[in-house]
Amino acid sequence: MKKILTIIAIACIAFATPSQAQVKFGLKGGLNLTTLSADGKASNILSNQTGFYIGPTVKISLPVTGLSIDGAAVYDQRSAKIKGTDEKVKSQSIQIPINVRYGIGLSSVVNVFAFAGPQFGFNIGDKSKTFNALLNDAKGWTLKSSNLSANIGIGATVFNKLQITANYNFQLGKTGDVHYKNDAGDIVSGKLKTNSWQLGLGYYF
């Protein structure tokens, strides 16, 4: 994890003058309000649930007033329940967001900012599962080994240490598939997407 953050920091600093770049390390975590969706018949069997994320983060201030880049490597959990059963579609991954942010100081204490950027995900949990309880002829699900998403959000930093953020993370492709039986009796797949509203809290050392 530390190696990943170091690589992120080096890549970000490459865009800045070394003598002017400021690097800060910290820890962030928060709540995932997952909107796991599926196309076709499978869209009616999912009930979204909350999840969480947590991990180290790094922020690099660039030699342009208000402009900075932040990166992180977080453990991320998202899930949805199969309606009427105890079965869940559960995603566990390492997510690496890299955001460009622009901030404005409201005072010597508070800075507000907006941010956006890509996020790279790597699945570390179960990649497939067959349902024990069959509802609406659902048979199971499979998740991709990796996925690409994007973030857009706002936040505030207090005393240049404590950070609060709110953002929307949306998939740029499918996360996986849910398998079910259609009206003709054939097993088909519906595409899954694990988009999420995220509320976060961070602290820079």
Q: Two tokens at 184?
A: 């003709």
Residues in contact with 205: Cβ distance below 8 Å, sequence separation at least 6, in sequence order: 24, 25, 26
Question: Is 75 in contact with 12 (CB distance < 8 Å)?
Answer: no
Residue bearing the bigger pLDDT, 113 or 194: 113
Whether residue 132 has pLDDT greater than 80: no
Give the pLDDT score at 137. 58
Indicate the pLDDT class of residue 79, thresholds 50, 70 and 90. confident
Q: Are 167 and 154 in contact (CB under 8 A)?
A: yes
pLDDT tens, 1-13? 555 555 555 555 5
Task: Name residue 185's beta-bridge partners.
Answer: none
- Give the gyration radius of the chain's Cα atoms: 19
CATH fold of 2-204 reads: Porin (2.40.160)
Residue 165 has pLDDT above 60, yes or no: yes
3-state secondary structure of 53: strand
Per-residue pLDDT band at 21 (split at 50, 70, 90): low
Arithmetic mean of pLDDT over the chain = 82
Element (H, E) at 9: helix 2-13
Supply the DSSP string of 111-178, one letter for each residue. EEEEEEEEEEEEE-S-SEEE-SS-STTEEEEEE-SEEEEEEEEEEEEETTTEEEEEEEEEESS--EEE
pTM over 0.85: no
Residue predicted with more confidence, 34 or 110:
110
